[in-house]
Amino acid sequence: MMCCVMMNRLVDKNARIFVAGGNGLVGSAVIRQLEKQGYTNILSPSHGKLELMDRVAVEKFFRTHCPEYVVLAAARVGGIHANNTYPAEFIYQNLMIQNHVIHESWRHNVSRLIFLGSSCMYPKLCPQPMREEDLMTGLLEPTNSPYAMAKITGVEMCRSYNRQYGTSYISVIPTNLYGPNDNFDLETSHVLPALIRKFHEAKMSDSPSVVVWGTGSPKREFLHVNDLADACILLLNSGLKAIHKDSMIFNIGSGMEISIGELAGLIKSIVGYEGTIIFDPSKPDGTPRKLVDSSRVNAMGWHSKIQLADGIIKTYEWFLNNNIGKR
């Protein structure tokens, strides 16, 4: 059920838009696409200039710069190993960042905020594809439940502020993302950048095999981050107004699922590696499937445009052009 009302409201091209987390995968894509669409007044101080875990600094930033719109893409993120190894940091840092940014947005009359959630907020064994109504209906995947709990809290904060204060804050729930400015560190990255790096380095050093974590059987849905950024900008402009607690939450996915084993084969062929793939089942598989139902945002006119193979080719080019990994 689509429970929101549409009003015509376009974001002025000179509006002050604060993109929190502008150096990250998502934030940098949002800035890139905003600039491409002619937005001229984007505020995005670096981590060094604005510590989002410092409430006083965040309050001062809002008071000084008066952003009219906020895209909250700043977060402590990482792949399955990082989530599993640093659970305290993942829950604490994400709660701090989102508490400060959402609360100060409300205190400083921000008209529209987009909060970035994650598909790991859905229950581990959620029926597929997962609908926005399925949030909080079951147990979470243990490897990332601290991160997921923090993100669920962010969604609940947006809903609560909408309900009590009449704001119109939107939560988006992207599926697994990839693209330029991703993290390619083998310990902390997500699977797609990790495999680009592993296959590239194995090709360069003539290694006979590449190790892929887990059994290779879990399935994931991948979305190029430029497509997500376009969805965020569409929603920023939508003029939606909440009239139901679930109405301001949008899954954002490509609808295309692939097993980790098949993904490894695809990346291997794009990189041009000729050795063998070895699966390491001592490493966790994580959740078996994570396909989101994107019909809500599709109904608003957004569809993903970048095919997985094309997106991986472009991301590999970016990896090479930015001298990441050993050559």
Of 44, 176, 238, 315, the one binding ligand GFB (CB under 6 A) is 176
Identify which of residues 4 and 77 has a Cβ nearer to ligand GFB in the complex.
77
Residue 13 — φ and ψ, nearest 5°?
A: -65, -20
Identify which of residues 191 and 270 has a Cβ nearer to ligand GFB in the complex.
191
Binding piece for ligand GFB, criterion CB under 6 A, among 19-27, 28-36, 279-287, 311-319: 279-287
To ligand GFB, the closest distance from the beta carbon of 282 in angstroms equals 10
| Closest to 100 measured CA to CA, from 138, 142, 72, 139 | 72
Residue 200 sits in the site that holds ligand GFB (CB under 6 A):
no
For ligand GFB, what does the binding mask look like between residues 3 and 42, x meaning CB under 6 A?
Answer: ----------------------------------------
Of 94, 98, 118, 226, the one binding ligand GFB (CB under 6 A) is 118
20 DSSP 8-state letter: E
- Tell me the torsion sign for CA atoms 63, 64, 66, 67: negative
Identify which of residues 120 and 240 has a Cβ nearer to ligand GFB in the complex.
120
Of 11, 120, 150, 252, the one binding ligand GFB (CB under 6 A) is 120
User: CA-CA distance, 202 to 312, in Å (whole number)?
Assistant: 17
Q: Which residues of 9-40 are buried (b: 16+ CB within 10 A; e: fewer)?
A: eebeeebbbbbbbbbbbbbbbbbbbbeeeebe
When CB distances to ligand GFB are compared, the closest residue is 79
The CA-CA-CA angle for residues 100, 106, 112, to 5°, reads 105
Identify which of residues 257 and 285 has a Cβ nearer to ligand GFB in the complex.
285
Does the annotation mark 147 as catalytic?
yes
Which residues belong to the active site?
Answer: 147
